[in-house]
């Protein structure tokens, strides 16, 4: 049996899957019985609690209903369970977000807004992306799309991957040349998944390599960026602005000091929306493949963690 666990979105998925010809997906709500949980072999889920996973000993496949699978970090799944994630769907939105954040910074839109509030005509020379060196940290399908989106605009575009990224027109860097990658960059866009290796990947040493007065954008996962180091870099002027869409704790508590840090721009994890309408076709294909015993799309490599 295929089941779904995704809070308020579960029934929307059920309807959309039905429209794709897929019936009988069981919603895991408080009425589900232990017997039904025993019969679950495939689970569509997002932030499923360990207690729910542990009640499904016959699970063979988990489809994460987003790009990330870090919500499963540290959780035990039955042996031989295949994990899949949503791939190739969020690159365009996230590239738009990164371009928007970069243009707002380079054109200093905040200064226009401040001037308008006080009815002040405040002309100044605005910058241009054409003089900016841009680097994308993470070269999966999303990172590659972001890097390509900057190519017509930026002076130079770099991409950093575990292995050397090959993207036409983009300078590739790998684990061995990480420091060179960061050197002199004006804009860094972080799109790394969260794994033990990527935690605090963007820390003091790497930020120090960036150009003075630069911009950091994080659309990957909160803990990939060392927030204390970012706040210090904003204070010292190494960073002029940091635009953060993701945080170690979400929602960001209203009591967090981060809301008031000068130079920090906060958005509520909106850069790559995983709306059911957009994800459902991939999920439907994977259900059909799972039921037919065929290879699934977006299989996660457990060793790499994405």
Using CB under 6 A, list all residues that contact ligand OXD. Answer: 66-68, 272, 274
In the bound state with ligand OXD, the residue whose beta carbon lies nearer, of 165 and 272, is 272
**Phi, psi at residue 61, to the nearest 5°?**
-150, 135
Report helix angle 109-117 to 91-106, nearest 10: 60
Tell the smallest beta-carbon distance from residue 272 to ligand OXD (Å).
5
Residue 208: strand, helix, or coil: helix
Whole-number minimum distance, CB 107 to ligand OXD, in Å? Answer: 27
Distance of CA 70 to the CA centre of its chain: 11
Give min distance, CB of 252 to ligand OXD, in A. 14
Cα 169 to Cα 6, 150, 163, 184, 201, distances in angstroms: 40, 10, 17, 18, 25
> Among the residues of the chain, which ranges form H helices?
10-19, 34-38, 50-54, 91-106, 109-117, 141-150, 178-182, 204-209, 227-236, 276-291
- For residue 204, the minimal CB distance to ligand OXD (Å) is 26
Quote the least distance from Cβ 69 to ligand OXD, whole Å.
8
**CB closer to ligand OXD, 66 vs 138:** 66
In 114-205, which ranges are E strands? 133-137, 156-160, 171-173, 187-190
The smaller minimum CB distance to ligand OXD, of residues 64 and 132, is found at: 64
> Is the CB of 86 or the CB of 188 nearer to ligand OXD?
86
Question: Would you say 235 or 278 has its CB closer to ligand OXD?
Answer: 278
């Amino acid at each position: 049996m295929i089941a779904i666990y995704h809070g308020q979105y579960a029934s929307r998925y059920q309807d959309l899957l039905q429209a794709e010809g897929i019936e009988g997906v069981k919603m895991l709500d408080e009425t589900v019985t232990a017997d039904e949980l025993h019969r679950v072999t495939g689970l569509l889920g997002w932030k499923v609690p360990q207690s729910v996973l542990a009640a499904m000993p016959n699970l063979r496949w988990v489809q994460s209903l987003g790009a990330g699978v870090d919500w499963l970090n540290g959780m035990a799944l039955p042996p031989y369970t295949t994990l899949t994630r949503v791939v190739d769907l969020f690159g365009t939105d996230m590239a738009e977000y990164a371009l928007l954040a970069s243009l707002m910074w380079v054109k200093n839109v905040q200064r226009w807004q401040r001037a308008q509030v006080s009815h002040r005509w405040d002309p100044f020379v605005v910058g241009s992306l054409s003089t900016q060196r841009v680097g994308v940290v993470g070269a999966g399908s999303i990172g590659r799309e972001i890097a390509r989106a900057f190519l017509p605009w930026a002076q130079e575009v770099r991409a950093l991957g575990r292995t050397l990224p090959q993207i036409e027109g983009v300078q590739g860097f790998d684990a061995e040349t990480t420091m060179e990658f960061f050197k002199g960059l004006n804009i860094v866009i972080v799109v790394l998944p969260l794994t033990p290796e990527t935690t605090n990947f963007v820390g003091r040493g790497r930020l120090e390599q960036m150009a003075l007065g630069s911009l950091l954008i994080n659309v990957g996962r909160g803990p990939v960026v060392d927030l204390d180091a970012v706040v210090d870099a904003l204070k010292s002027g190494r960073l002029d602005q940091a635009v953060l869409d993701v945080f170690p704790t979400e929602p960001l508590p209203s009591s967090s000091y981060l809301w008031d840090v000068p130079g920090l721009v906060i958005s509520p994890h909106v850069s790559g929306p995983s709306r059911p309408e957009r994800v459902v076709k991939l999920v439907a294909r994977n259900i059909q493949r799972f039921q037919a015993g065929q290879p699934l799309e977006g299989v996660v490599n457990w060793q790499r963690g994405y």
